[in-house]
C-alpha cells in the first residue's frame, strides 16, 4: 500500500461561509474572471450575444448548461503543449437548456408541440460540446480568443462515426444511416474524461428523454417492435410521448427534427428512426487539436446514462482502465479494461483518434459488485459469460444474442450478472498518488431505494425534516472509493470503503445523518463533480487536492451550490461502523460498512455559486495556478420576463439581464497554487 505524503498537511484558505448571494464567492485572496458564457460567439464571426432571446446561430456560439471541462495546452505556435499554463483550448460539454431564456418570451408549445422550426433548431444547436481557445497574457490576464482556428462547436447535428463492437450492426441502422456506421451528433453531454494522448471523452447522460415514442399502444410503434426491443426501451426509459422539447413536432421533412421521433412507423428499421435511441448513451472521443476530425463513439465502453469516463493511473506495459458511473437511481458502476497494454510512446502520436482506436475499441467491460466485507468484484459483461436476464414485471426473459447486444443493452447485462445497484453514480476520479478510484453517489430517495434496500455500499436511509424532492432515503449522498487488487488496472477484485457522507451539520434529527462529522465550514449535499488536481506542478511536491462539486436540492435552503477542497486519505483508514436506519414509520434497520471520518482540516468549502446554479466542470492549468470551474444553469427556476439570477452580470455588480451558464477562471492574487 502506497503511503500518502500530505504536504502541506492543511488546506491553505479560509472556508467560504454558506450564502445565497448571486455571485461566485471565493476565499479572501482569490479572484474570479468570467470566461466563456452561453451565447458567446466563438466561430464563423457570429455576432455578439444580445441575451434577449433574439439570438440565433447557436452552432457558432457557446452552448447552454456548460458542464464538464478540460484544459488542453498550446505552445506559442498554437500546437499541442501539455505543459502550457498560459495558452490552451478548453473543451466543455453543454448538457441541457434553460429554455425559458433562449427565446424572446420563452418557448412556444414546448411540452408537446408543434414547435416553430427556428426555436427547435436553436435548442438543438445549444447542446453538445465547445472547444474554445483561452489565453493568459499576464495583463490584463485571462481572455477568450474569439474565432481562433481551433475553436469549434460539436452539436447534435455534427457528423460522428461509430467504432468498436457495435459498429455496423443492425442496432445502429436507420433511414439516415443504413450502414450502421455513421451517426449524427451527441446530446446531453454531462461529465467527461481525458486521455494521455490528449483527446476528450464526452459522455451522453440523460439522452433517453429526447425521443418521442408512442406508449398508448394505439399506433404502430409497439406493434412493429419485438418484445426484446420493448424491454430494452423500458429499461433505458425511452418512453416519452413527446420527447424533451418536442423537437420532432417541428416542420416535418427535415431530418434535424424528424430523427427525434423514434416511433416504429415503417415496415423496417432502415425506413424510420426507431433505432435512433441506440445511437446515444455512448462515450464520444473528440480530438481537440484537430477541428476537422470526425468524433468517434466508442461502443466498447457500453451504453448507459454515462456520467463520466475517467482513466485509472497508467503503467507502461499494463492495460488501460476507465471508470464510469451510470447516473440514475439504482444503476451501476463500470470499468472498461483495454485489450492493448499501454505504450507510453503513443502519448504524443499525431493521429490521436487512431490511438483511441487501439485502446478504446477492444477490451472488457465490467460492472461492480460491492460486497459487505469491504471487498468487491468486477463482473465481466462478456457474451457467453452473462446469463439470461430473468423475466421481471412485464419483461420477458432477455437472452443476449451477441457482444453488440450486451454493449447496447449494458444495463440489462449488469442486471443479469448481479452488479450492486447504487445511489446514483455520478463522477469518477483517480487519485494520482495512490491510484484509488473515487465515485460520487449523489443521492437516492425512498422510491429508488426503500429502507429495507440498504447495503454496505449504500447504507444510509433517513427522513430529512427539511428535504424537498429527495426527502426520504439518502438525500445528501456519499462517496465511495476503491483500490484495485495489487494496484492492477486489469484486476477483477478490489477493496473499498466509504470516504465521506454529505449532511447538513445542523441536522441532529438522527444518529445516521452527519456520519462524517461535518461542520458549517464543510457541510454539503449531493456530491456530483469530483476531480483530483493535476500533479505536474510542482511535480510530486504536494499532495493532490481533491475537488468536490455539488448539485443538490436538499441543501439549497441554506446555501447555493458549492465546491469543496479535500485532502483524502486512503481506503481502510477508517473503521467498521454500524448505523441504525429509520424513516419514522418502519421498523429500524441496521447497516454496517467501512468508512472514514472527515475532519475540518482535510475538507473545506472553497467556493459557492450564484443563485440556482449547479457547480459542474473543473480543471486547472498544469501549473495549478488557474482553476477553471463551470457554473451551470444559474437562475434555472426563473422566467424570461422575471429572471431569478442575473449572473454573470451580477459578478461585477450589474443586477439585471438574463442569467447565463459560464466558465470562470479562479486565480490566487499572490500567483500561488489554487487551494494551497
Ligand atoms: Fe448530468 Fe448526473 O449529472
Ligand atoms: Ca453530474
Ligand atoms: Ca447531479
Ligand atoms: Ca444541472
Q: Does the pTM of the predicted model rise above 0.90? A: yes
- What was the pLDDT predicted at 554? 85
Q: How confident is the model at residue 8 (pLDDT cuts 50, 70, 90)?
A: low
What DSSP string runs through 49-93?
A: P--SS----GGGB--SSEEEEEEEEB-TTSSB-TT-SSEEEEEEE
Percent of the chain with pLDDT over 90: 87
What span, in angstroms and rounded, lies between the C-alpha atoms of 310 and 470? 28
Q: How confident is the model at residue 467 (pLDDT cuts 50, 70, 90)?
A: low
Q: What is the tens place of the pLDDT at every residue in 259-291?
A: 999 999 999 999 999 999 999 999 999 999 999
For residue 327, give the ligand 1 atom closest to its CA.
Answer: 2
Burial zone of 137 (CB within 10 Å; 0-12 exposed, 13-18 middle, 19+ buried): exposed
* Cα of 216 vs its chain's centroid, Å: 33
Q: What is the tens place of the pLDDT at every residue in 485-542?
A: 999 999 999 999 999 999 999 988 888 999 999 999 999 999 999 999 987 666 666 6
The neighbouring-strand residues paired with 389 are 398
Write the secondary structure of 10-44 as one string of H (helix), E (strand) and C (coil). Answer: CCCCCCCCCCCCCCCECCCCEEEEEEEECCCECCC
Whole-number average pLDDT of the chain: 95
For residue 424, give the ligand 1 atom closest to its CA.
Answer: 2
Q: Is the pLDDT of residue 585 over 90?
A: no
- Nearest residue (by CA) to ligand 1, atom 1, is 190
Q: Which of 321, 45, 274 has the alpha carbon at shortest distance from 173?
A: 274
What span, in angstroms and rounded, lies between the C-alpha atoms of 30 and 669? 5
For residue 206, give the ligand 1 atom closest to its CA.
Answer: 1
Q: How confident is the model at residue 468 (pLDDT cuts 50, 70, 90)?
A: low
Protein residues with C-beta less than 5 angstroms from the ion ligand 3: 442, 528, 551
* Ligand 1 touching residue 552 (CB < 6 A): no
The CA-based angle 504-563-285, given to 5 degrees, is 125
Q: What is the tens place of the pLDDT at every residue in 414-425?
A: 999 999 999 999
Contact present, 326 and 425 (Cβ < 8 Å): yes
* Ligand 1 touching residue 426 (CB < 6 A): yes
- What was the pLDDT predicted at 216? 79
- What was the pLDDT predicted at 264? 97
How far does residue 224's CA lie from ligand 1's centre (Å)? 33
In degrees and rounded to multiples of 5, residue 407 shows phi and psi of: -75, -35
- What was the pLDDT predicted at 2? 43
How far does residue 551's CA lie from ligand 4's centre (Å)? 7
- What was the pLDDT predicted at 1? 39
What span, in angstroms and rounded, lies between the C-alpha atoms of 487 and 434? 9
Element housing 322 (H / E) = strand 319-325
How far does residue 377's CA lie from ligand 2's centre (Å)? 25
- What was the pLDDT predicted at 541? 64
For residue 190, give the ligand 1 atom closest to its CA.
Answer: 1
Instruction: Tell me the mean pLDDT in the region 54-74.
Output: 98
What span, in angstroms and rounded, lies between the C-alpha atoms of 337 and 354? 18
**Residue 92 CB contacts under 8 Å (≥ 6 apart), including other chains:** 36, 62, 66, 67, 68, 69, 129, 130, 132, 617, 630, 663
How far does residue 193's CA lie from ligand 3's centre (Å)? 17
- What was the pLDDT predicted at 464? 83
* Ligand 1 touching residue 331 (CB < 6 A): no
Dihedral (C-alpha) 15, 533, 547, 643: value to the nearest 10 degrees? Answer: 90
Q: What is the tens place of the pLDDT at every residue in 146-159?
A: 999 999 999 999 99
Amino acid at each position: 500500500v502506497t503511503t500518502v505524503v500530505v504536504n502541506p498537511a492543511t488546506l491553505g484558505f479560509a472556508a467560504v461561509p454558506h450564502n445565497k448571494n448571486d455571485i461566485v464567492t471565493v476565499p479572501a485572496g482569490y479572484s474570479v474572471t468570467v470566461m466563456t458564457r452561453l451565447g458567446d460567439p466563438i466561430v464563423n464571426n457570429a455576432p455578439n450575444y444580445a441575451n434577449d432571446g433574439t439570438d440565433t446561430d447557436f452552432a457558432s456560439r457557446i452552448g447552454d448548461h456548460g458542464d464538464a471541462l478540460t484544459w488542453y495546452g498550446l505552445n506559442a505556435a498554437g500546437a499541442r503543449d501539455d505543459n502550457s499554463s498560459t495558452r490552451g483550448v478548453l473543451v466543455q460539454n453543454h448538457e441541457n437548456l434553460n429554455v425559458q431564456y433562449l427565446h424572446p418570451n420563452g418557448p412556444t408549445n414546448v411540452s408537446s408541440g408543434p414547435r416553430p422550426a427556428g426555436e427547435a433548431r436553436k435548442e438543438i444547436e445549444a447542446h453538445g460540446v465547445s472547444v474554445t481557445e483561452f489565453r493568459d497574457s499576464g495583463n490584463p490576464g485571462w481572455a477568450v480568443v474569439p474565432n481562433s482556428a481551433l475553436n469549434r462547436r460539436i452539436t447534435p447535428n455534427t457528423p460522428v462515426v461509430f467504432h468498436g463492437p457495435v459498429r455496423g450492426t443492425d442496432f445502429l441502422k436507420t433511414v439516415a444511416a443504413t450502414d450502421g456506421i455513421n451517426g449524427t451528433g451527441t446530446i446531453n453531454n454531462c461529465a467527461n474524461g481525458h486521455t494521455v494522448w490528449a483527446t476528450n471523452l464526452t459522455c451522453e447522460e440523460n439522452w433517453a428523454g429526447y425521443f418521442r415514442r408512442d406508449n398508448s399502444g394505439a399506433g404502430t410503434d409497439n406493434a412493429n417492435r419485438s418484445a426484446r426491443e420493448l424491454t430494452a426501451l423500458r429499461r433505458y426509459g425511452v418512453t416519452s410521448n413527446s420527447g424533451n422539447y418536442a423537437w420532432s413536432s417541428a416542420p416535418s421533412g427535415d431530418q434535424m427534427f424528424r430523427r427525434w421521433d423514434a416511433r416504429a412507423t415503417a415496415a423496417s428499421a432502415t425506413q424510420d428512426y426507431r433505432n435512433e435511441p441506440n445511437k446515444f448513451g455512448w462515450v464520444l472521443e473528440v480530438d481537440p487539436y484537430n477541428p476537422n476530425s470526425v468524433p468517434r463513439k466508442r461502443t466498447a465502453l457500453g451504453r448507459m446514462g454515462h456520467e463520466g469516463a475517467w482513466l485509472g493511473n497508467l503503467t507502461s506495459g499494463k492495460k488501460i482502465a476507465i471508470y464510469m458511473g451510470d447516473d440514475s437511481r439504482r444503476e451501476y458502476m463500470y470499468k472498461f479494461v483495454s485489450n492493448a497494454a499501454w505504450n507510453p510512446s503513443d502519448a504524443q502520436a499525431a493521429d490521436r483518434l487512431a490511438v483511441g482506436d487501439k485502446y478504446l475499441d477492444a477490451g472488457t467491460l465490467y460492472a461492480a459488485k460491492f460486497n459487505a466485507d469491504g471487498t468487491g468484484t468486477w463482473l465481466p459483461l462478456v457474451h457467453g459469460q452473462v446469463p439470461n436476464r430473468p423475466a421481471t414485471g412485464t419483461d420477458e426473459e432477455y437472452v443476449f444474442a451477441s457482444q453488440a447486444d450486451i454493449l447496447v443493452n449494458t444495463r440489462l447485462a449488469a442486471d443479469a450478472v448481479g452488479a450492486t445497484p447504487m445511489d446514483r453514480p455520478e463522477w469518477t476520479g483517480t487519485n494520482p498518488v495512490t491510484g484509488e478510484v473515487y465515485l460520487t453517489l449523489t443521492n437516492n430517495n425512498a422510491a429508488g431505494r426503500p429502507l429495507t434496500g440498504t447495503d454496505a455500499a449504500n447504507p444510509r436511509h433517513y427522513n430529512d425534516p427539511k428535504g424537498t424532492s429527495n426527502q426520504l432515503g439518502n438525500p445528501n449522498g456519499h462517496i465511495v472509493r476503491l483500490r484495485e487488487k495489487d494496484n492492477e488496472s486489469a484486476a477483477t477484485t478490489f477493496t473499498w470503503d466509504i470516504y465521506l457522507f454529505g449532511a447538513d451539520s445542523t441536522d441532529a434529527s438522527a444518529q445516521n445523518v452527519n456520519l462524517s462529522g461535518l461542520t458549517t465550514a464543510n457541510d454539503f449535499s449531493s456530491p456530483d463533480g469530483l476531480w483530483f488536481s493535476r500533479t505536474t506542478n510542482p511535480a510530486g511536491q504536494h499532495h493532490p487536492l481533491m475537488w468536490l462539486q455539488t448539485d443538490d436540492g436538499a441543501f439549497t435552503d441554506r446555501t447555493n451550490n458549492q465546491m469543496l477542497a479535500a485532502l483524502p486519505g486512503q481506503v481502510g483508514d477508517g473503521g467498521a461502523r454500524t448505523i441504525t436506519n429509520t424513516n419514522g414509520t418502519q421498523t429500524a434497520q441496521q447497516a454496517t460498512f467501512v468508512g472514514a471520518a472527515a475532519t475540518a482540516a482535510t475538507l473545506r468549502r472553497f467556493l459557492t455559486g450564484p443563485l440556482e446554479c449547479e457547480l459542474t466542470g473543473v480543471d486547472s492549468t498544469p501549473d495549478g495556478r488557474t482553476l477553471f470551474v463551470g457554473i451551470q444553469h444559474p437562475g434555472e427556476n426563473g422566467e424570461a420576463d422575471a429572471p431569478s439570477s442575473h449572473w454573470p452580470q451580477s459578478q461585477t455588480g450589474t443586477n439585471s439581464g438574463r442569467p447565463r451558464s459560464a466558465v470562470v477562471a479562479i486565480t490566487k492574487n499572490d500567483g500561488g497554487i489554487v487551494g494551497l
